[in-house]
Every structure is written in C-alpha cells, then in structure tokens.
C-alpha cells in the first residue's frame, strides 16, 4: 500500500524538526521553551538539571541561552482597551 501525501509530509516535517531541535547530551532530554541550555567549554550542550549535577570546576565558562518556542520570533500585537 502506498503512503498518502499527508503522511509523507508529516513524516518529513517531524524529521526536520528533530534534527534542528536542541537536546541535552547527558540525559538526551529536549529542553522546554524558555528553559536555559548551557554549552560547556568542551562543546557539549547540557540542560540546567544536568549542569547542576556537574562538579563546580566543569560549570565554569559555560555559555547559557534560552530555548525558543519557534524558529521565528512570535508576533505580539497589543489590543485596544
């Protein structure tokens, strides 16, 4: 049986999202939007939970950034009161 166009597009979209999505190298968990992710001096990406378990000397020099909800910034519009 041949797969439908809809299922092929869905599979392709999910595959491309999984490739670009950040994940923790220690626990393999995908951090939630708004959560901090740390890039250690060794180049490994770890979540805040795994970073807390590291020895103090390995936490130094880690670069932190927030995980965004989408690949593009969300538009916010103010409504008249």
Please report how many Cα atoms fall inside a 13 Å half-sphere around the Cα of residue 18, on the Cβ side.
Answer: 7
Assigned domain for 61 exists: yes
Of residues 53, 61, 60, the one with CA closest to residue 27: 53
Assigned domain for 75 exists: no
Assigned domain for 43 exists: yes
Mean pLDDT confidence for 11-26: 68
Assigned domain for 46 exists: yes
Contact in structure between 63 and 31 (CB atoms under 8 Å): no
Assigned domain for 17 exists: no
Query: Would you place residue 2 in the very low, low, confident or very high pLDDT band (cuts 50, 70, 90)?
Result: confident
Domain count, the chain: 1
Assigned domain for 6 exists: no
For residue 39, give both structure tokens: 């890039």
Question: pLDDT at residue 40 above 60?
Answer: yes
Q: Range of 39's domain?
A: 23-69
Which tens digits make up the pLDDT trace of 41-78? 888 899 999 999 999 888 877 788 888 776 665 566 66
CATH code, 50: 2.10.110.10
Question: pLDDT at residue 27 above 90?
Answer: yes
Q: Give the whole-angstrom CA distance, residue 68 versus residue 46.
A: 16
Assigned domain for 50 exists: yes
């Amino acid at each position: 049986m041949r797969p439908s166009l809809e299922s092929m597009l869905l599979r392709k979209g999910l595959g491309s999202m999984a490739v670009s999505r950040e994940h923790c190298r220690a626990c393999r968990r995908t951090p939630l939007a708004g959560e901090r992710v740390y890039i250690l001096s060794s180049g490994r990406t770890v979540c805040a939970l795994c970073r807390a378990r590291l020895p103090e000397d390995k936490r130094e020099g880690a670069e932190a950034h927030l995980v965004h909800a989408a690949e593009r910034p969300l538009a916010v519009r103010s409504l008249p009161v």
